[in-house]
């Protein structure tokens, strides 16, 4: 059944990881030499002077790629509603990707902070992968609950 609570959780996880993280900056770096904002798609210089920090192209797009993978995988998990065991296996992979994304984003912000010589001010966007992870955990609990109910009903038959 697609009307289950995990459908809502998986949709919210996909929205948090695939849409909202692209709309808000991850961190701000405000110092004497640089005024920078870190977005999932790269580093934006807000000052008229040249930025002292440059990110590697791979680092720039790895976060965006992982974020889109998590969003697409959440939708795929949602569409696997007839096979709860497969949903649980795919959820574990989504968990791993989400944890990697969170670690990567904090690593990237610390890398920029060292280059700019200022401490990061974390913005709204950095918390959406964590929120996505929470929704994935809630979806897994709901799927496991459904699986227990089905097994209990099978025992009664």
pLDDT for 140 beyond 90: yes
> Residue 153 and residue 157: Cα distance in Å, rounded?
7
pLDDT, position 47? 73
- Owning domain of residue 144: 5-156
Average pLDDT, the chain: 88
Give the model's confidence band at 2: pLDDT under 50 very low, under 70 low, under 90 confident, else very high: low
**Torsion angles phi and psi, residue 52, rounded to 5:** -80, -5
Number of domains in the chain: 1
Give the model's confidence band at 147: pLDDT under 50 very low, under 70 low, under 90 confident, else very high: confident
Q: What is the pLDDT of residues 40-87, one digit of tens each?
A: 988 888 777 666 666 777 777 889 999 999 999 999 999 998 888 999
**Average of pLDDT values for 96-101?**
95
38: domain CATH number? 1.20.140
Give the model's confidence band at 32: pLDDT under 50 very low, under 70 low, under 90 confident, else very high: confident
């Amino acid at each position: 059944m697609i009307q289950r609570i995990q459908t809502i959780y998986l949709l919210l996880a996909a929205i948090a990881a695939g849409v909202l993280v692209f709309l808000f900056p991850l961190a701000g770096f405000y110092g004497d030499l640089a005024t920078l904002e870190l977005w999932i798609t790269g580093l934006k210089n807000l000052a008229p002077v040249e930025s002292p920090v440059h990110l590697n192209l791979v680092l720039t797009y790895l976060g965006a790629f992982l974020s889109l993978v998590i969003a697409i995988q959440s939708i795929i998990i949602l569409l696997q509603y007839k096979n709860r065991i497969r949903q649980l296996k795919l959820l574990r992979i989504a968990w791993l990707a989400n944890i990697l994304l969170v670690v990567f984003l904090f690593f990237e912000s610390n890398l920029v902070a060292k280059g700019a010589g200022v401490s990061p001010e974390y913005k709204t966007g950095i918390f959406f992968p964590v929120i996505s992870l929470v929704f994935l955990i809630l979806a897994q609990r709901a799927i496991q609950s459904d699986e227990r109910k089905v097994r209990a009903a099978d025992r009664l038959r």
